[in-house]
Amino acid sequence: MSEMTDRKKLYIETYGCQMNVADSEVVISLMQEQGYEVTERMEEASLILVNTCSIRENAEQRIWGRLDVFRQQKEKRPGTRIGVIGCMAERLKEDLLKREKAVDLVVGPDAYRALPGLVEQVESGQNGVNTILSREETYGDIMPVRTGANNISAFISIMRGCNNMCTYCIVPYVRGRERSRDPQTIFREVETLAQAGYREVTLIGQNVDSYRWRTNDGRSYPFAWLLEQVAQIDSRLRIRFSTSHPKDLSDRVLEVMARYPNICRHIHLPVQSGSTKVLKAMNRGYTREWYLNRIDAIRSHLPDAQITTDIMAGFCSENEDDHRQTLSLMEYVEYDFAYMFKYSERPGTRAARKMEDDVPEQTKKKRLQEIIDLQNKISAAVKQKAVGKTFEVLVEGSSKKSSQQLSGRNSQNQVVVFPKGNQQVGDFVQVRIDQATPGTLIGNQVESK
């Protein structure tokens, strides 16, 4: 064997959502057990893995671009193996090998335990493909190897897959059915992180509100229960969660949040559209009125919370009036932040099979721009309201713009920047806000209250 394969170095790139970040941490854990060492330098890797996203056409475009770069690397160092893992691997399966000859391995999100065996298979000259989806796999017993920028904040996967079947969405096809992770393994992971000095954990899943652990004796434990248990582990450990689905966000979850100050005052609640007609076409399972009722419930249980969202412009059948309803809903809710997209048809989804992608590209663009412009105005106004207030901020590191400034987030998940003193990464500090931009609060540390 060549010197290179003896050294077994893994280089991994991760695209897409937080679930992919968490999955890459599981993959690293599995590969380290096989003697792989993680490297930040692609040039010295014996194995290159790319954890992929399929959510929109442009997410996949970006990955094809990366595969060009990996192919060139392989040409320079024959013997380098390339694996595509995650959602795009699941969607394209063997076709990926045909479309990009440099790829050796294709592994879907539920098949990571098979990775070491497949890598061996590749070493013996075959390709390695496993895109079998599972009804049970949660990787609950695997302690992920953390890859975050600091040792302060970590993602913990609590459930996988999705049963919602929104008509535009590829996720149920690439991540399979919904399943919840054994709570004991979640508690153990939280405790381990807290003992290691972590100050914040984010419980993640495609739809955390439909978390439900079922025991053999017929009892079942919902997300509100899990959240409360986790909040009790360490009162100085911040708890976040994502993503919530408006149809499942219960008052009980809001009540638990209100009772525990260490559960952060932030809810990411993707709305997609403000029009009941479009929501129905999307099969979202709620109306505009239901969504606004959830917003009112958040405001009454958690008056100091910030709400963020995902919005899509130009879904099938959306007309000007539907679009106006999205804008008016945004004004009502006053989102602190939004991820905003143009609808992009995904092969195999119900919308692709049954509905006409009938909003012209130009119209999609124009509507998206109106949504972005409005959100910028709203973000600026929401941030402005924080001026004069004091927040507890978890220090995460230097600010992007200046090494003389520190950056962190408040409970509301807003980024706060302030001048560096003798604070350490991982400290909780009180910061009074003096200025705001649409994306950032700027202030100064004040004495603890």
The footprint of ligand SF4 (CB under 6 A) covers 16-17, 19-20, 53-55, 86-87, 170-171, 174-175
Window 267-286: residues binding ligand 5AD (CB under 6 A)? 270, 272
Residue 382 CB, shortest distance to ligand 5AD, in Å, is 20
The interaxial angle of helices 223-233 and 183-195, nearest 10 deg, is 30
Smallest separation (angstroms) from ligand 5AD to the CB of 369: 15
**Partner from ligand SF4, ligand 5AD, none binding residue 357, C-beta < 5-8 Å depending on class:** none
Q: Which partner in ligand SF4, ligand 5AD, none is near 298 (CB below 5 to 8 A by kind)?
A: none
- Which helix (H) or strand (E) segment holds residue 253: the answer is helix 251-259
**Residue from 9, 56, 265, 294 in contact with ligand 5AD (CB under 6 A):** 56
Q: Angle at CA 295, nearest 5°, toward 289 and 297?
A: 105
Shortest approach of ligand 5AD to residue 89 CB, angstroms? Answer: 18
- Please, which residue, 80 or 244, has the CB nearer to ligand SF4? 244
108 or 314, CB closer to ligand SF4? 108
The token pair at 45 is 């890797």
AA identity, residue 123: E
The whole-angstrom separation of Cα 88 and Cα 99 is 13
Nearer to ligand SF4, 349 or 407 (CB): 349
**Closest approach of Cβ 42 to ligand SF4, in Å?**
21
Instruction: Check binding of 344 to ligand 5AD (CB under 6 A).
Output: yes
Q: In 3D, which of 105, 108, 103 has the Cα closest to residue 91?
A: 108
CB neighbour list of residue 385: distance below 8 Å, 6 or more residues apart: none
Stretch that binds ligand 5AD, among 92-100, 131-139, 340-348, 432-440 (CB under 6 A): 340-348
Long-range CB contacts (within 8 A, 24+) of 225-229? 226/158, 226/183, 226/186, 227/203, 227/253, 227/256, 227/257, 227/263, 228/256, 228/259, 228/260, 229/183, 229/187
Q: How many CA atoms lie within 13 A of 252 on its CB side?
A: 11
Q: Is 173 in the site for ligand 5AD (CB under 6 A)?
A: no
Identified binder of ligand 5AD from the candidate list 11, 139, 173, 341, rule CB under 6 A: 341
Distance of alpha carbon 240 from the chain centroid: 12
Residue 53 touches which member of ligand 5AD, ligand SF4, none, C-beta under 5-8 Å by kind: ligand SF4
Phi, psi of 407 (to 5 degrees): -130, 145
Contact yes or no for 81/47 (Cβ under 8 A): yes
Candidates 155, 343, 391, 418; binder of ligand 5AD (CB under 6 A) is 343
Nearer to ligand SF4, 242 or 275 (CB): 242
Ranked by CB distance to ligand SF4, the top (closest) residue is 16
How near is the Cβ of 173 to ligand 5AD at its closest, in Å? 11
Minimum separation from the CB atom of position 368 to ligand SF4 (A): 18
Measure the CA–CA gap between 111 and 137, rounded to whole angstroms: 9
CB of 247 to ligand 5AD, least distance (A): 13
In a 10 Å sphere around its CB, with 0-12 CB exposed, 13-18 middle and 19+ buried, how is residue 233 labelled? middle
Binding to ligand 5AD (CB under 6 A): which residues in 285-314? 310, 312
User: Taking CB positions, which residue lies at the least distance from ligand 5AD?
Assistant: 310
Shortest distance (Å) from residue 173 CB to ligand SF4: 9
Bridge-partner residues for 130, per DSSP? 107
Distance between first and last Cα of the chain: 63
406 binds, among ligand SF4, ligand 5AD, none (CB under 5 to 8 A by kind): none
Asked whether position 245 contacts ligand 5AD by CB under 6 A, the answer is no
Contact status, residue 84 vs residue 50, Cβ threshold 8 Å: yes
**CA nearest neighbour of 191 among 126, 143, 245:** 143
CB of 235 to ligand SF4, least distance (A): 32
Sign of CA dihedral 263, 265, 270, 274: positive
Residue pair 161/206 in contact (Cβ under 8 Å)? The answer is yes
Give yes or no for residue 52 binding ligand 5AD (CB under 6 A). Answer: no
Residue 291 site contact among ligand 5AD, ligand SF4, none (CB < 5 to 8 Å, cut-off depends on kind) = none
Which one-letter DSSP state was computed for residue 111? -
Find the shortest distance in angstroms from Cβ 131 to ligand 5AD.
Answer: 20
- Tell me whether residue 341 or residue 418 sits nearer to ligand 5AD (CB atom): 341
Residues that bind ligand 5AD (CB under 6 A): 55-56, 168-169, 270, 272, 310, 312, 341, 343-344, 346
